[in-house]
Amino acid sequence: MKKTDRDWMLEETIRAYRGLDDDALGVLKAHWPADRVRQEAIATVLAERDRPSITCPACRMVSYNPNDIRERYCGHCHQFHNEMP
């Protein structure tokens, strides 16, 4: 499936919002009530925080894959966390 401009914008916004804390997201949510992309990004980021996840110590990528969590593996570095330099 080809990504639309909106998909790219949403991904970009989600990436940016992952760095914000819950308070900051709350402010944005109130500030942009009519912006569908921003609202969807905020909802996605907040939903992610309720799920178990693992953050790679090397590249900071967050994974929600249960296998990655169990094995402490990073799909971006293709390495197990305890094998990292």
Return residues touching Zn ion (CB under 5 A).
56, 58-59, 61, 74, 76-77
In whole angstroms, the minimum distance from the beta carbon of 75 to Zn ion comes to: 8
| CA separation for the pair 82, 71 (Å, rounded) | 10
Residue among 6 and 76 whose Cβ is closer to Zn ion? 76
In whole angstroms, the minimum distance from the beta carbon of 28 to Zn ion comes to: 28
Say how far residue 54 (Cα) sits from the centre of its chain.
11
In whole angstroms, the minimum distance from the beta carbon of 66 to Zn ion comes to: 17
Cα dihedral sign, 36-15-69-79: positive
Residue among 33 and 85 whose Cβ is closer to Zn ion? 85
What the block records as the tokens of 22 is: 């819950």
Calculate the dihedral angle through the C-alpha atoms of 74, 49, 29, 9, rounding to the nearest 10 degrees: 20
Residue among 29 and 72 whose Cβ is closer to Zn ion? 72
